[in-house]
Structure 1
Amino acid sequence: MSSTNYTTRTEGQTKICTIIWTIPTFVNLLENVTKREFRVEKAKDPKTEFTHSKFQLKMQFLGRYNDIIEISYLSPNPVFLKSILTICLKRFEERTIVIKEYHTVQANKWQYLATLFKRDIASYDGRDIFLLSDGSLRLKVQFMVTNDIKIDRSTVPEAQLSNDLENLLNDGLFSDVIIKSAEGIEFKVHKAVLASRSAVLKAHFEHNTTECYTNVIESLLESTVLQEVLTFIYSDKAPRVDDIPEKLLAAADYYQLNRLKSLCEEALHKKLTVENAIETLQLADLHSANTLKQLTLEFIKDGQAKLITKTEGWAQVKSVDLIKRIYEYIMADDFDADIK
């Protein structure tokens, strides 16, 4: 009858469960071809409540002459663990047979641990390789269970979703609708993608609209801008946002693409100068780009008011409301003198 010894210890967030399984007169078991499976006895000590007492071990004899021995284990709960199988030898020596690095183990499903071979355990020339002096086989199995899951993702490929969707746009594969630029250039696109990204484009397909029957959308955007808008819709990238931020801001506002709109505001803020401050403020006001409007007003207030009043942009301002808004925001002591 086999015997088992259970121990456990904790190191940081890792609990190490050790099972020592001793199977006496193991050679006799190898010669018995009628019984092909042995399992470790469960602990009877009620104090051993932790996982080590719940792990089960199983040994199966395979082959016509029990030439192969497979060892498996079972956990009643899903865990993240590392397992080590060691054979205890004579003279208190040990030999580690297998180390399985951290991985997720399913609950109540036998997991393969290791394979032993009859020829390595006990030879017929009198040399017992893996057996103790009394002929028993002693196995030590350690389960290192942790909740501190840190997986090396260096070998995990980079995400390809945005690239794959962008390729879908470029290839036009499986397209079910056409969107035309102001010049009449056609882009083959997909209703599901457009509708999922823009509420405005979604509305084209929700009601009894012309687009529902023709599957053609007429856009007022010129082709270069429309291409960028579609690229953003499919890939969430805006490669030319620094080149044409003004046009993309208008397009993003029209199609309610809030992230693209924010990218445009950021690009325009980076390009903000004394010469273009008024035009930028008007553009922000026209397209409800509140962040850009606030940043531009701060730019004007921050000692730039006198210089800005001498620019062509200021000379061409026709909106009294805009001037009033700038004045009310700045409220500088010498502002009245500066603008005269």
Structure 2
Amino acid sequence: MSEVKCIKYDIIKEDIDTTLHKLLWDIQFDLISVPRELRSFARHNDVPVFQMKVEIFEEDDIIVNISYMYPCERYIKSILSMAERNEYYVISTSGYNMIQANEWHHLMTLKSDHIQVETTGMGQYLLMNFEFKFKVINNIRFKYESPNLKTRYNFQTFFITSLFSDVVLISNDGKEFKVHKIMLASQSDVFCAHISHDTCEAITNTIKSPFDAEVLEAVLSYIYGDKVVGIHKTTEQILIAADFYHIDGLKSLCEQELCQRINIENAVTLLELADAHNAVKLKNDALNFIKDNRADMIIKTTAWAELKSVHIVKLLFEAVKCGKECNVIYYECEFGTFFVA
């Protein structure tokens, strides 16, 4: 039997104009029988609100398209979390998008390596469990444009299927991605430079990347669908790649993720990362964290002991001096012993 079922639905009012909808969905799909499309309502207090549609396509691999419908015209930001094969994935849009009432809107496309298929005596079943979070702006007069989204269309299916691809992007570890010049050039002036001049890449339609496949796939996922798969796993490397390719929207997403993780052990490391890649928000948040009376603990960390940048040491001293005007604090690192009065 195939079914899509919302097993939990909570609505949390965040402020006067914004509500957070949290929905937990179970999806079971019989891969042998029809139909190849399922729909289901999510009800809150017996009132149908969100509707979910799941479509299955089988070519060389299994491909799953998931779409949603909302009964009102709203600005919506979506965040999807899923556990799969002992790993945890988070897919998030970078900003709010206007959706039309009672029309289907693409949420995500999954391919076989993110899908669990269970074989039983009764046949083959596709099993998925997702948590969807939708932030909804209820005041339609509120105008919010995703600052980095250069297209309102979602081309993720073209990335998954490689349909009409015209260039091959090769990762540092040898994986090939069949992609589209127009998508790369529209989101990154670095990619545009690779393919718009009389270069080897333009002639051979092949671009070699210095980044591993996992990081490159996250970059491409953002370019094609304004979503990032698994951003929590390799956030630092994705930020470096976003800075390298001049993809500001993706870089901003990585900064937001890392700012939530700042702690005593990693504050210095994240400050170094932010300074090296001009991540202004992350740099400011890390400095503020250090300045907030935590310096005496941070100087005991491994990151402090291994610090090699004089520039970062100066930044830290300035931050601590602003935070503790009346104390004399001594620090030891690779450069010797320093004090801030």
> TM-score, length-normalised on structure 1?
0.53
Q: 2:182 aligns with which of 192, 200, 207?
A: 192
1:147-189 CA-to-partner distances (Å, cap 9, x unmatched) read: xxxxx95422225797851110010001010000011111000
1:326 aligns with 2:273: no
What secondary structure sits across from 2:165 in the alignment? coil
CA contact (8 A) 1:162 1:234 kept: no
Q: Secondary structure at the match of 1:272?
A: coil
Q: How many angstroms does 1:211 deviate by?
A: 0.8
State the Cα distance separating 1:333 from its structure 2 match.
2.6
Q: Secondary structure at the match of 1:213?
A: helix
Paired residue for 1:225, among 195, 215, 226?
215
CA distance in 2 between counterparts of 1:320 and 1:258 reads 28
- Contact 1:281-1:292 within 8 A present in 2 as well: yes
The code of the aligned residue for 2:216 comes to L
Q: Does the C-alpha gap of structure 1 residues 203 and 275 become closer, same or farther in structure 2, counting only changes over 3 Å?
A: same
Q: Does structure 1 retain, via aligned residues, the 8 Å contact 2:154–2:224? A: no
- Equivalent of 1:307 in 297, 310, 318: 297
Counterpart for residue 329 of structure 2:
337
Contact 2:166 2:178 in 1 (8 A): yes
Task: Identify if the C-alpha distance between structure 1 residues 206 and 154 changes in structure 2 by more than 3 Å, giving closer, same or farther.
Answer: closer
Q: Does 1:171 align with 2:164?
A: no
Task: Output aligned runs, 1:93-242, within 5 Å.
Answer: 154-158=101-105, 164-242=154-232
Classify the secondary structure of the residue corresponding to 1:339.
Answer: strand
Identify if the C-alpha distance between structure 1 residues 221 and 153 changes in structure 2 by more than 3 Å, giving closer, same or farther: closer
Larger radius of gyration: 1
Instruction: Give, in whole Å, the separation in 2 of the partners of 1:267 and 1:324.
Output: 26
1:24-39 equivalence runs, <5 A: none
Q: Cα 1:162–1:221, aligned 2, differ >3 Å: closer, same or farther?
A: farther
Counterpart of 2:244?
254
275-284 vs 312-321, which deviates more? 312-321
The SS at the match of 1:303 is coil
Displacement of 1:300 after TM fit? 0.2
Structure 1 residues 159 and 185: alpha-carbon distance in aligned structure 2, compared to 1, 3 A threshold: closer
**Structure 1 residue aligned with 2:276, among 280, 286, 291?**
286
The residue that corresponds to 1:298 in the other structure is 288
Figure out how many residues of one structure are paired with residues of the other and give that number: 189
Q: Which stretch shows the higher mean deviation, 315-324 or 218-227? A: 315-324
Q: CA RMSD in A?
A: 2.0
Q: Compared with structure 1, are the counterparts of its residues 193 and 203 closer, same or farther at alpha carbon in structure 2 (3 Å cutoff)?
A: same
> How many Å separate the matches in 1 of 2:298 and 2:153?
43
Structure 2 unaligned blocks of 5 or more: 1-98, 108-150, 333-341
Secondary structure in 2 aligned to 1:211? helix
Report the CA distance between 1:255 and its aligned residue: 0.4
| Distance (Å, rounded) in 1 between the aligned partners of 2:230 and 2:328 | 40
Answer yes or no: is the 8 Å Cα contact 1:185–1:223 preserved in 2: yes
Contact in 2 for aligned 1:197/1:257 (Cα 8 Å): yes
CA distance 1:163–1:196, change in 2 (3 Å): closer
Q: Which residue of 2 aligns with 1:144?
A: none
The DSSP-based 3-state class of the residue aligned with 2:105 is coil
SS at match of 2:104: coil
- TM superposition shift of 1:307: 0.4
Change (3 A) 1:254 1:234: same
CA distance in 2: counterparts of 1:170 and 1:198, whole angstroms: 20
Q: Deviations over 1:7-62 (max 9, x none)?
A: xxxxxxxxxxxxxxxxxxxxxxxxxxxxxxxxxxxxxxxxxxxxxxxxxxxxxxxx
Equivalent residues of 2:290, 2:319 under 8 A apart: no
Amino acid at match of 1:337: I
Match of 1:275 in 2: 265
Question: Which amino acid counterpart does residue 329 of structure 2 have in structure 1?
Answer: A
Q: Secondary structure at the match of 2:155?
A: helix
